[in-house]
Chains A and B, each alone.
Chain A
Amino acid sequence: MLKITDLVHSYGSHRVLDGVSLSVAEGELVSVVGPSGCGKSTLLRSIAGLVRPSGGSILLGGRPIDRIPDNLAIVFQDYSRSLFPWMTAMSNVALPLRRRGLDRRRSREAAMAALDQVGLADAGGKYPWEMSGGMQQRVSIARALAYRPALLLMDEPFGSVDAQTREDLEDLVLRVCAHQGMTILLITHDIDESVYVGDRVIVLTRSPARVAADLEVGLGGSRDQIATRQLDEFVRLRAEVGRLVRGGSTTATTVLEQH
């Protein structure tokens, strides 16, 4: 589905991506975790075609990304800036559908269905600034869902909401994406979150970013905020990802665990 090989990017003489290679299979939710400022966002923006990388290749559905792909949606961290305040929630969700050639009635129906999926069936007529942060981010998610992208990119999507809302939104994304069979690349700096939501966790090193580890998450399909976080596998993975993010290596982890 998505295959990135030896991706390199520099801003001037400052190298941010130093040969990143990773792949995402159809229907997979891959979380990318790394220290703050390690180049995660540059990676996401390269995939979205918003940044032209200095080197390496990105294939989306077998085709190289030379311009902004047609079948991709992004949920940004900053919902208050990425939703349009002059439009209602409904119009915000429906707007990208209009470009896809849906007429007004059909795009409104699709928008309504997506709002319903994120639990905002009654809030379509509200403006973003009349909503709480969590509700606004739900609208952003609904906008991405309604668009039915082949690949959904999420850039720290739960970074600006409170802890309770964050858990609700994590479960919401897991639920609707399992339901729609969506392929997702989710970028986060939160170690717990990367393990909790991911089928796979890709850990990036400090800047310039390289892939430190690509870990399979053996937690199965259904997750629970309390029970999953108590599982040995979750605790082990969280510790491993944590050490990697702090700059340790997998070998050190194995040695420690043997003692």
Chain B
Amino acid sequence: MNRVRVLRGVVGAAGFVAAVEAVGMSGLIDERFLPRMSTILVSAAGLIVDPDFLADATATVTAWALGLLLTVAVAVPAGLALGALPAVERAVRPLIEFLRPIPSVAIIPLAILLFSDNLHLRLAVILYASSWPVLMNAIYGVKDVDPLAKETLRSFGFGPVSVLLRVSLPSAAPFIATGVRVASGIAIILAVSAELLAGGAEGIGIFITEAASAGRIDLMLAATLWAGLFGVLSNAVLVAAERRLFRWHRVRSGSPR
């Protein structure tokens, strides 16, 4: 079942690559604007051993990882608190509903003015943009906790903070994890966007900008390809971690294993 799905995905991707390559070979598109697929793939392979690109990739992945950690550290406690305190949640709700729909990339120019350090800038915009899905899922996850589960622990004499940490947090954890997975995708977008807009010394975004100004569209697209692959890979790792950690949740909600 799963194998068939993976196989179909591989066939689909390979078909797409072959189709684009065929269009390239037919000469319909000027190779100066859009290099052939094979050229891009060869360049992408070459980037694995290119120390400049590796340094750029490391910088972006570092910003992504730190940004995501920071997001979890801020948004999970905030979501727990808001989920547990409905009065406070109602008070901050209008602010959240106002800020959330603002396209996150639009705050990058403001961040450029506020932060002189490039890493700080990236972390700030990642934190701002990635927090929303984690925050919202934590709030709803905590609100959704079975009241009987909480009463069970209360009846054994546990106080509100213990109930929050021992029942609400684990109950909400599968929802929070889904939020973190969505946040992970947003974080990589924001990291590269900030590099493209704000510049700096190192980063995949910087590599793309430099490749573009040097007229190396093949390298530009090869770096983009790696950024995309990183997104796919990190998502797959997080999905696998969720399956492992929250088997109880899947069994309970009746989803297939």
A72 contacts partner chain B, Cβ-Cβ < 8 Å? yes
Partner of B149, one of A48, A72, A81: A81
The one of B146, B154, B166, B249 that contacts A95, using a Cβ cutoff of 8 Å = B166
Chain A residues with CB under 8 A of B24: none
Cα separation A95 to B249 with both chains bound (whole Å)? 20
B148 touching A82 by the CB < 8 A rule? yes
User: Which residues does chain A contribute within 8 Å of B16, judged by CB atoms?
Assistant: none
Question: For residues 145 through 172 of chain B, which have their beta carbon under 8 Å from a beta carbon of chain A?
Answer: 146, 148-149, 151-158, 162, 166-167, 170
Q: From B155, B173, B246, give the contact of A74 (CB < 8 A).
A: B155
B155 to A48, Cβ gap below 8 A? yes
A residues near B149, Cβ cutoff 8 Å: 81-82, 84
Count of CB-CB pairs between chains A and B under 8 Å: 53
Please indicate the chain B residues that have their CB under 8 angstroms from the CB of A147 in the complex.
156
A73 adjacent to B155 (CB under 8 Å):
yes
Does chain B have a CB within 8 A of A208?
no
Secondary structure type dominating chain A contacts: loop
Q: In the complex, how many angstroms separate the beta carbon of A155 from the nearest chain B beta carbon? A: 10
B248 touches A70 (CB 8 A): no
B113 interfacial by beta-carbon distance below 8 Å: no
Is A105 among interface residues, defined by CB-CB distance under 8 A?
Answer: no
Asked if A50 is an interface residue, CB under 8 A from chain B, the answer is: yes
Output the least CB separation between B215 and chain A (Å).
55
Residues of B within 8 A of A72 (CB): 155
Residues on the B chain within 8 Å of A81, using CB: 146, 148-149
Q: Determine the residue in chain A with the shortest Cβ distance to B173.
A: A86
B5 at the interface (CB under 8 A from A): no
Separation in Å of the B174 CB from the closest CB of chain A?
Answer: 9
Taking the closest CB of chain A, its distance from the CB of B170, in whole angstroms, is 5
B244 on the A face (CB < 8 A): no
Known: A81-B146, A127-B248. A68 touches B157 (CB 8 A): yes
Q: Which chain B residues border A27 with CB–CB below 8 Å?
A: none
> B158–A84 contact, CB under 8 A?
no
Which B residues are in CB contact (< 8 Å) with A68?
A: 154-155, 157
CB distance from A79 to the nearest CB of B (A): 10
Asked if A14 is at the interface (CB within 8 A of a chain B CB), the reply is no
B3 contacts partner chain A, Cβ-Cβ < 8 Å: no
**Residue numbers in A under 8 Å from B148 (CB-CB):** 76, 78, 81-82
Interface assignment of A242: CB less than 8 Å from any CB of chain B: no
Chain B nearest Cβ from A125, distance in angstroms? 14
Residues of B within 8 A of A159 (CB): none
Which residues from chain B contact A96 at a C-beta distance below 8 Å?
153, 156-158
Report B165-193 CB contacts with A as 1/0, cut-off 8 Å.
01100100100000000000000000000
Closest 3 CB pairs of A and B: A96-B156, A85-B248, A82-B152
| Residues in chain A within 8 A of chain B (CB atoms) | 48-50, 68-70, 72-74, 76, 78, 81-82, 84-86, 95-96, 99, 127, 129, 147
